[in-house]
Amino acid sequence: MIERSGVAERVAAFRAFNRFYTEVIGVLREGLLRTPYSLAEARVIFELAQHDDLALTDLRRALALDAGYLSRILARFAADGLITRQRAADDGRRQTIRLTAQGRAAFALLDTRSAEEAQALLGRLGDAEQRRLLGAMRAIRELLADAPRSERFLLRPPEPGDYGWVVQRHGALYADEYGWDASFEALVARIVADFAAGHDAARARAWIAEVDGEPAGCVFCMEKDAGTAQLRLLLVEPRARGLGIGARLIDECIRFARRAGYARLMLWTNDVLVDARRLYERAGFTLGEEEHHRSFGHDLVGQNWWLALRA
């Protein structure tokens, strides 16, 4: 539960971000994007430009604008020759609105300048920073607008920066979800460092799952001995769970280990990781040895799971 002081701090941070972002995109200037139009007027023009004609009631619903305020905007647009208004052919009670050629030109100007401004802002950032920014924007939309999340993901080899992400996300997620201490992050760092320092690509491999251009999961397949491969560091971000990423990462690891000529695949986990154990069972792994141990600040039951790769 968040303390009242914590709530106040978060509210203040939220409001500070709003002030910062409105200043960055210039919505408080007298004319948006160096045009005669306010932000609300530009949104009306944008919405109308998405349709050949649009019912007044649909326009009001899409923008959630006060009826009187919207009426004044439309009256100005009509006087300036940006729109035409008429009664719907199938229902005389409904008013439809259409942009004129002059209105379409106003939209084209706004659209072009908006794209140029966005390009200029993104151009100040490197590729990784752009991806981080866009990922944060997607997160805001998903959290505040109930936007549907992407159902698509891809698997790829690790790229520069991904190894650090694997370590950081393991440390953060396991601390948050299980209360594990920094010794677990240290263990992950050693595993990743050993892999990154040099491995035989014919005997070891790693995959990063990516959703909307951002890392969302990972798994490593590493050599334990001549006949045994080990699945390590399976992780799926909470926002990407339920998409089948975990099962797909496990399948990739199994396929690689089989192609590499291993006789069996094993993994070490702990009994508290219930969701991961279900994935292993579905993939055909069976529980082998168990051992009580004190690690990562907790009393745990370590488990070895095994999968035969040869008939």
Q: What does the alpha-carbon distance between residue 155 and residue 40 come to, in Å, rounded to a whole number? A: 41
CATH number attached to the domain at 4-145: 1.10.10.10
Of 190, 240, 191, 238, which is closest to residue 212 (Cα–Cα)? Answer: 240
- Residue appearing with tokens 């990063």: 208
Of 277, 278, 300, which is closest to residue 181 (Cα–Cα)? Answer: 300
Sign of CA pseudo-dihedral 249, 156, 133, 243: negative
pLDDT in tens, 190-233: 999 999 998 899 999 999 999 887 899 999 999 999 999 999 99
State residue 101's pLDDT score: 95
∠ CA 203-187-308, rounded to 5°: 40
Q: What does the alpha-carbon distance between residue 132 and residue 213 come to, in Å, rounded to a whole number? A: 9
**What proportion of the chain, given as a percentage, has pLDDT over 70?**
96
Cβ-based neighbour number of residue 29 at 10 Å: 13
Phi then psi for residue 229, to 5 deg, are -100, 155
Of 52, 51, 59, 22, which is closest to residue 39 (Cα–Cα)? Answer: 22
Tokens standing for residue 102: 């002059």
State residue 214's pLDDT score: 85
pLDDT in tens, 19-73: 998 888 877 777 788 889 988 999 999 999 999 888 888 898 888 888 899 999 9
Residues 6+ apart with CB under 8 A from 22: 28
Tokens standing for residue 216: 């969302």
Residue 1 has pLDDT above 50, yes or no: no
Residues in the chain: 311
State residue 6's pLDDT score: 79
| Architecture of the domain defined by 154-308 | 3-Layer(aba) Sandwich (3.40)
Residue 93 has pLDDT above 80, yes or no: no
State residue 94's pLDDT score: 81
Q: What's the half-sphere exposure (Cβ side, CA atoms, 13 Å) at 307?
A: 23
Q: 1-15, 174-188, 295-309: which range is least confident on average? A: 1-15
Residue 151 has pLDDT above 70, yes or no: no
Max avg pLDDT among 82-96, 121-135, 154-168: 154-168
Q: What is the mean pLDDT of residues 236-254?
A: 93
pLDDT in tens, 156-173: 999 989 999 999 999 999
Tokens standing for residue 81: 């020759």
167 to each of 17, 149, 162, 194, 305, how far by Cα in Å? 29, 25, 9, 13, 23
The helix or strand, by DSSP H or E, that contains position 20, with its residue range, turns out to be helix 4-25
Domain residue extents for the chain = 4-145, 154-308
Contact (CB, 8 A) for 232 and 219: yes
